[in-house]
Amino acid sequence: MDLFSKYKNPLLEMARKEGIYPYFHELQSRQAPEVVMEGHRIIMLGSNNYLGLTENQNVIDAGIKALEKYGSGCSGSRFLNGTLDLHKELEKEIAEFLHKEDAVTFSTGFQSNLGIISALAGFGDYILNDRENHASIYDACKLSYAKVLRYRHSDMEDLERQLQSIPQTAGILIVTDGVFSMRGDICKLPEICALAKKYGARVMVDDAHSLGVLGEGGRGTASYFGLEDQVDVIMNTFSKSLASIGGCMAASKEVCDYVRHCSRPFIFSASLTPASAACALQALRELKSHPEMVSRLNELGNYCRKAFRDRGLHIVEAQTPIVPIYTYTPKRTFIIAQKLFAKGVYVNPVVSPAAPEGECLLRVTLMASHNEKLIDEAADIIAEVVNNEKTED
């Protein structure tokens, strides 16, 4: 069989043929509540720029100053010539903010999970993985060579059943998203921590969609539940609330030191660029100085959910700025996304494998810089398109 013959994707071929291909729209302005895409004014409801800090002037100025001082890149890994004082400063402030002893930065959020999990778990260890965890966690599990057991989404009985099957001599890591990125629901962290204590497991939370969203001052899921002392490792990305690119882990000094010396994705990758590190650091300082942004973001999430319900839309009920709308089938999802784009609203179409079969979604995400008037305008357009589009594929 020709290696390349399997590259054909019938769903994408259909979408292109029928003019409903929803991906790679060109953005011609900054990430903001209103953007320019392909020459048109678009209400942006598909960005992870939760706090709206990508257009914050202090964040932009910090990136410019770092570019001028350090140049455009580090030309090496953190392990060798690629560590800047700026990286150390960023790690120190992240650790302090998250109430952990230390932190380690990575060049992307995806790489963070690869680097953390593959270093912490290996042959003979077990990883317990929520079925709806992010793809980077799944790939990290493969890289770790540990035995991976998946439990049904937020099903604590299934998690305990899996834990009971593990030999007492094995090391165990339970990994969960804090906020699940497609549905916007929050993990059952109190139950997870209780089970971890019962079975001698360690807990890692991916807070990519929780930093700046949940907890005291936006500190994330562990803070939200008052369990910071029971979560061993917190992963974060800089590409969402911190308005940059990169990621990190926060943990004990011992664990962070181990990862720095044993994580292949960390050791063999070029370090975070100076401008990216500086922007993330300044965004963190903006968050610390303005915790009201977190409250405002969640107020808008609640407002948006009500606006959608009032207009007859079937949404996934959650408590975060992620507000998914059921569209059920792939073709219907693509058609609606394309019609919305034509009418000036951008949302993210979510189909399998990111969503279960028959549960396709339009994923709406809010920013603290949105306002009620803009949400109402978008909600009217979304309701008109979704409610008038037939459900059959």
Give catalytic residues, as residue numbers: 181, 209, 240
Total residue count of the chain as it appears in this document: 393
Identify whether the C-beta of residue 183 lies closer than 8 Å to the C-beta of residue 212.
no
Burial 113-152 (b: 16+ CB within 10 A, else e): bbbbbbbbbeeebbbbbbebbbebbbebbebbebbbbbbe
Helices (H), 28-108: 57-70, 85-97
Alpha-carbon dihedral of residues 9, 12, 14, 20, nearest 10 degrees?
180
Token pair 């907890």 is found at 215
Say how far residue 291 (Cα) sits from the centre of its chain: 20
CA atoms within 13 A on the CB side of 143: 20
Identify whether the C-beta of residue 106 lies closer than 8 Å to the C-beta of residue 272.
yes
Query: What does the alpha-carbon distance between residue 186 and residue 180 come to, in Å, rounded to a whole number?
Result: 6
